[in-house]
Chain A
Amino acid sequence: MNWAALIFGKLSWSVFPDNPIALGGAAFMVCCALLVLALITYAGRWKWLWSQWLTSLDPKRIGVMYIAVSGVMLVRGGIDALLMRAQQATSVGASDGILAANHFQQIFSAHGSIMIFFVAMGFMFGIVNLVLPLQIGSRDVAFPFLNSLSFWLFASGAVLINLSLILGDFSTAGWLAYPPLSELAYSPTTGVDYWLWSLQISGLGSLLAGLNFLITIIKMRAAGMTPMRMPVFVWSVAGSMSLVVFAFPILTATLALLALDRTLGMHFFTAGGGGNMMMYVNLIWAWGHPEVYILILPAFGIFSEVVPVFSGKKLAGYFSMVLSIWAIVFLSFLVWLHHFFTMGAEADVNAFFGIMTAVIAIPTGVKIFNWLFTMYRGRIRFYTPMLWFMGFVVLFTLGGVAGVVLAEPPADYQLHNSLFLVAHFHTMIVSGVLFGYFAGITYWLPKIFGFRLDESLGRKAFWCWLFGFILAFGPLYILGFMGATRRLDHYAAGLGWQPLFIVAGIGVLIIALGFAFQVAQLVRSIRQRRTALDTTGDPWDGRTLEWSTASPPPAHNFAVLPTVHSLDAFWAAKQEGTPADVRYEDIHMPKNTGAGIVIAGFVFLFGFGVVWHMWWLAIFGIAGAFISALVRTFAEDTEYVLSAAEVEAQEKARGRAPALMPL
């Protein structure tokens, strides 16, 4: 018996990175982590961090933590993007570029996985946590503890995927790890396992969070908020979370089947043994296509809040907005095959999926027109959230037209797997999803922290992102038509592609500058926060309930729960100026708990154990998670009470001194 293998599994001294760039990345990340830990220790903030943030069940704080993790992951994914652009700009003819082929493959796989699962999903759940309970006039989500657990599972997945920088390597099989390449026979290292388990763990968190928010919307709305009085953001989140609930179990199952192939030698997707690799592609896209709408619907919702407020008008076509959200939800499950028209399904099948795909442009077009009609004859105020919207509406429409082109199976036969496709989906995800989330963060951060973000740096960030994006992805549309395929680590000099790749590289540098402006914006806004305080709770002249409470809101959101009489409830209240009949009541709130971190920590140990075949650790992790979850169900005394008198005293004190979220 080999005791070392029993204890350490596949871990050995040879798992540390050996090439200089990978080693540099690992060292950089370790240094950053150590620096952060040292700073917290130096400032003596550990106790504060633990009791105020890490164990918090307050959705506003959980939301801030989601956004912080996603911001860090955006840096990681962005560095990957810079490396890929650098490789493709230099790896031509006799030059092999700056990266080894294998390392390049790891980088594009990591870039896609990180940007979707840990940047876009994290920003999305972060914003939903910040805004949704406030907007429906609720004190909390339906299951506050589950919310904390969901976040920590997401964070565990993020740690696991970053660990692959230091120990072992990452998957080289692309962001969706198609078999048979992702099977053990062709990817024998632990890279695909890191991919599998970090996604599985964070995906479980997403599933639980989706369920939580769906039920929050169904059950926790303020009195009088009938469905047709819900803000469009709430509708869009309801659509998105319905998709999470239906689609994420498919991802869980698919990842589990691939893991069974790799660890227990099964034959679901293997090249031999009767496996069927096209079943993997079908299953992963049955999740993957709805996933696109899971990300974009909340962004649509954000724009549906931003545009009316900054145009000083009510949203045009509320009913058609709601209808188009549900049309998209429904259609998103009927288009998955357009990701692999070239599989060789018969023409009728391809035609069906092609038509369904093109049809999605109709509800999306309805939304674009409604936003434009809202702006029409409005008194538009060009704050940064509105700039993000206008950047979005131009780029997203162009990218959408490219999508309709790709929806035609004959065109897709030419364009699939080309940089045209890459340019198309980046237009949808960057200028659609990411611009939307940036608009949302700028729009709602004053509510959460009590001060506005610096406008001038925000504008600079926007223009860098906009022009950087056009420079980075415009050339890729052209290169796609010229025949450049995706994931290319080298090409011949005679093709004449290099100038376009260099332009694309410059574009990414400008985007990086835009991101630097965003960091500077955050730093400057925090430093100068006392000059931009929001003392009214309503800095933008808003229309929905979140602006009716203080900025930042108390942990219980509303001293007195609002009652809703119409759409745009807060706007209506402001117009009527009805004096609120204030009668304070006792408020029951959940106590903070570290159980979420503990359970997610055990799940992380399980994931690490399975990746490295350290079975004792995997068993320890899963047993620990199960037992600590069981202990939590027996926990007593999980609530505290804020008496009516205390609430009243707090409200009176607030009138005198503006509160700031403790920074």
Chain B
Amino acid sequence: MTDAPMTGVREQEANAADGLKAFGFWVYLMTDLVLFASLFAAYAVLHTSTFGGPSGRDIFDLPFVLAETVLLLTSSFTCGLALLSARAGSARGTFAWLCATLALGASFVALEIYEFAGLVRAGDGPSRSAFLSSYFTLVGTHGLHVALGLPWILAVMAAILRRGLSRSSLRKLMLFSMFWHFLDLVWIFIFTVVYLMGANLL
């Protein structure tokens, strides 16, 4: 993909190609949503199968989870600001907001690892009971997605460093932000269904 100035027809073709990629990625995200739906279904079936182990009420630390939530939602906000900066043509601003997104996302992953490690140390790991298997898998799959997003942010930043806000950099940024907002959406469901309902607050 070259970034030389384009003539009218080529520009239209390139716009159409970018639109196609964005649409394709949308559909991919919908398939990912079906995957999460399956994991939610497994959690819904197994969340009472504690097999003598702890229930959600015993292990969920809601203030801690609230901190995770705030981190992730804020990172979604900074990701949106990065996109706005890019639209305004500010490579510097885009880069800065992506740095913030990276830091917030990494903190979220760190907190989740800390939470999981604490549970495993206490003997409440994923092999303790069916409930814990489904809990670790659902929340962990979301965490894995966030963790995979971190090198992706780095790749977008590398593209901006190398070529500025070129067409290909903007496309990478656009796809990444769709992915990131999608993870935010899934987390809202996890926060509600797993943590709030699990702690009997809803």
Q: Is the CB of B2 within 8 A of A268?
A: no
Q: CB-CB < 8 A to A207: which residues of B?
A: 31
Q: Which of B3-29 contact A (CB under 8 A)?
A: 13, 20-21, 23-24, 27-28
Q: CB-CB < 8 A to A211: which residues of B?
A: 24, 27-28, 31
B21-45 vs A: 1/0 string, CB under 8 Å? 1011001101110110011011001
User: Pick the contact of B130 from A246, A256, A274, A634 — CB < 8 Å?
Assistant: A274
Q: CB-CB < 8 A to B136: which residues of A?
A: 266
Q: Is the CB of B130 within 8 A of A283?
A: no
Q: CB-CB < 8 A to A657: which residues of B?
A: none
Instruction: Given contacts A257-B42, A273-B133, list 14 more A-B pairs with CB under 8 A.
Output: A143-B20, A211-B24, A211-B28, A245-B31, A249-B31, A266-B127, A268-B42, A268-B130, A270-B130, A273-B127, A276-B49, A283-B41, A283-B42, A634-B155
User: Pick the contact of B46 from A272, A276, A638 — CB < 8 Å?
Assistant: A276
Closest to A247 in B: B34
A1 within 8 Å of B (CB atoms): no
Q: CB-CB < 8 A to B131: which residues of A?
A: 274
A574 within 8 Å of B (CB atoms): no
Residues of B within 8 A of A (CB): 1-2, 13, 20-21, 23-24, 27-28, 30-32, 34-35, 38-39, 41-42, 45-46, 49-51, 126-131, 133-134, 136-137, 151, 155, 159, 172
Closest to B41 in A: A283
Closest to B38 in A: A253
User: Pick the contact of B23 from A215, A248, A588, A626 — CB < 8 Å?
Assistant: A215
Q: In the complex, A276→B134 CA distance in Å?
A: 11
Q: Is the CB of A276 within 8 A of B45?
A: yes
Q: Is the CB of B35 within 8 A of A252?
A: yes
Q: Which of A597-654 contact B (CB under 8 A)?
A: 626, 630, 633-634, 636-638
Q: Is the CB of A265 within 8 A of B127?
A: yes
Q: Is the CB of A253 within 8 A of B28?
A: no
Q: Is the CB of A264 within 8 A of B35?
A: no
Closest to B52 in A: A274
A219 within 8 Å of B (CB atoms): yes
Q: Is the CB of A634 within 8 A of B49?
A: no
A252-271 vs B: 1/0 string, CB under 8 Å? 11101100110011111010
Q: CB-CB < 8 A to B129: which residues of A?
A: 267, 273-274
Could you list 18 A-B pairs, sorted by A, with CB under 8 Å? A143-B20, A143-B21, A211-B24, A211-B27, A219-B23, A249-B31, A249-B35, A250-B38, A253-B35, A253-B39, A256-B137, A267-B129, A268-B133, A273-B127, A274-B51, A274-B130, A630-B151, A634-B155
Q: In the complex, A221→B131 CA distance in Å?
A: 48
Q: In the complex, A627→B101 CA distance in Å?
A: 22
Interface centre among B38, B129, B172 (most CB of A within 10 A): B38
User: Pick the contact of A249 from B32, B45, B51, B151 — CB < 8 Å?
Assistant: B32
Q: CB-CB < 8 A to B32: which residues of A?
A: 249
Q: CB-CB < 8 A to A256: which residues of B?
A: 137
Q: In the complex, A633→B23 CA distance in Å?
A: 17
Closest to A254 in B: B38
Q: In the complex, A260→B45 CA distance in Å?
A: 17
A97 within 8 Å of B (CB atoms): no
Q: Which of A268-308 contact B (CB under 8 A)?
A: 268, 270, 272-276, 279, 283
Q: CB-CB < 8 A to A261: which residues of B?
A: 133
The answer to whether A249 and B127 touch (CB under 8 A), given A211-B28, A215-B20, A636-B2, is no
Q: CB-CB < 8 A to A215: which residues of B?
A: 20, 23-24, 27
Interface centre among B28, B30, B31, B131 (most CB of A within 10 A): B31
A464 within 8 Å of B (CB atoms): no
State the Cβ distance, A378 to closest chain B Cβ, in Å: 39
A54 within 8 Å of B (CB atoms): no
Q: CB-CB < 8 A to A273: which residues of B?
A: 51, 127-130, 133
State the Cβ distance, A9 to closest chain B Cβ, in Å: 20
Q: Is the CB of B20 within 8 A of A249?
A: no
State the Cβ distance, B10 to closest chain A Cβ, in Å: 9
The answer to whether A267 and B24 touch (CB under 8 A), given A246-B34, A634-B159, is no
Q: CB-CB < 8 A to B21: which residues of A?
A: 143
Q: In the complex, A274→B13 CA distance in Å?
A: 55
A329 within 8 Å of B (CB atoms): no
Interface centre among B30, B32, B134, B136 (most CB of A within 10 A): B134
Q: CB-CB < 8 A to A630: which residues of B?
A: 151, 155
Closest to A265 in B: B127
Q: Is the CB of B50 within 8 A of A266?
A: no
Q: In the complex, A233→B100 CA distance in Å?
A: 49
Q: CB-CB < 8 A to B127: which residues of A?
A: 264-267, 273
A142 within 8 Å of B (CB atoms): yes
A368 within 8 Å of B (CB atoms): no
- Please list the 9 inter-chain residue pairs (A to B) with the smallest Cβ-Cβ separation, ordered nearest first: A274-B49, A274-B130, A253-B38, A274-B51, A266-B133, A249-B34, A265-B127, A249-B35, A267-B130
A512 within 8 Å of B (CB atoms): no
A214 within 8 Å of B (CB atoms): yes
Q: In the complex, A276→B45 CA distance in Å?
A: 8
Q: Which of A514-560 contact B (CB under 8 A)?
A: none
Q: In the complex, A297→B179 CA distance in Å?
A: 32
The answer to whether A214 and B130 touch (CB under 8 A), given A268-B42, A274-B51, is no
A208-222 vs B: 1/0 string, CB under 8 Å? 000110110011000
The answer to whether A275 and B31 touch (CB under 8 A), given A260-B137, A588-B13, is no
Q: CB-CB < 8 A to A212: which residues of B?
A: 24
Q: Is the CB of B20 within 8 A of A636?
A: no
A221-252 vs B: 1/0 string, CB under 8 Å? 00000000000000000000000011011101
Q: Is the CB of A279 within 8 A of B38?
A: no
State the Cβ distance, A242 to closest chain B Cβ, in Å: 10
Q: In the complex, A612→B159 CA distance in Å?
A: 38
User: Pick the contact of B126 from A254, A264, A272 — CB < 8 Å?
Assistant: A264
Q: Is the CB of A143 within 8 A of B24?
A: yes
Q: In the complex, A252→B129 CA distance in Å?
A: 22
State the Cβ distance, B57 to closest chain A Cβ, in Å: 16
Q: CB-CB < 8 A to A249: which residues of B?
A: 31-32, 34-35, 38
Q: In the complex, A408→B46 CA distance in Å?
A: 31
Closest to A268 in B: B133
Q: Is the CB of B133 within 8 A of A267?
A: yes
Q: Is the CB of A268 within 8 A of B1?
A: no
Q: CB-CB < 8 A to A245: which residues of B?
A: 27, 30-31, 34
Interface centre among B21, B23, B42 (most CB of A within 10 A): B42
State the Cβ distance, A560 to closest chain B Cβ, in Å: 16
State the Cβ distance, A152 to closest chain B Cβ, in Å: 18
User: Pick the contact of B34 from A250, A279, A634 — CB < 8 Å?
Assistant: A250
Q: In the complex, A142→B35 CA distance in Å?
A: 23
Q: CB-CB < 8 A to B38: which residues of A?
A: 249-250, 253-254, 283
User: Pick the contact of B27 from A214, A267, A274, A275 — CB < 8 Å?
Assistant: A214
State the Cβ distance, A465 to closest chain B Cβ, in Å: 36
Q: Is the CB of A637 within 8 A of B2?
A: yes
User: Pick the contact of B1 from A143, A219, A257, A636 — CB < 8 Å?
Assistant: A636
State the Cβ distance, A432 to closest chain B Cβ, in Å: 26
State the Cβ distance, A602 to closest chain B Cβ, in Å: 16
State the Cβ distance, A611 to closest chain B Cβ, in Å: 20
Q: In the complex, A131→B27 CA distance in Å?
A: 23
Q: Is the CB of B1 within 8 A of A638?
A: yes
Closest to B16 in A: A219
Q: Is the CB of B130 within 8 A of A142?
A: no
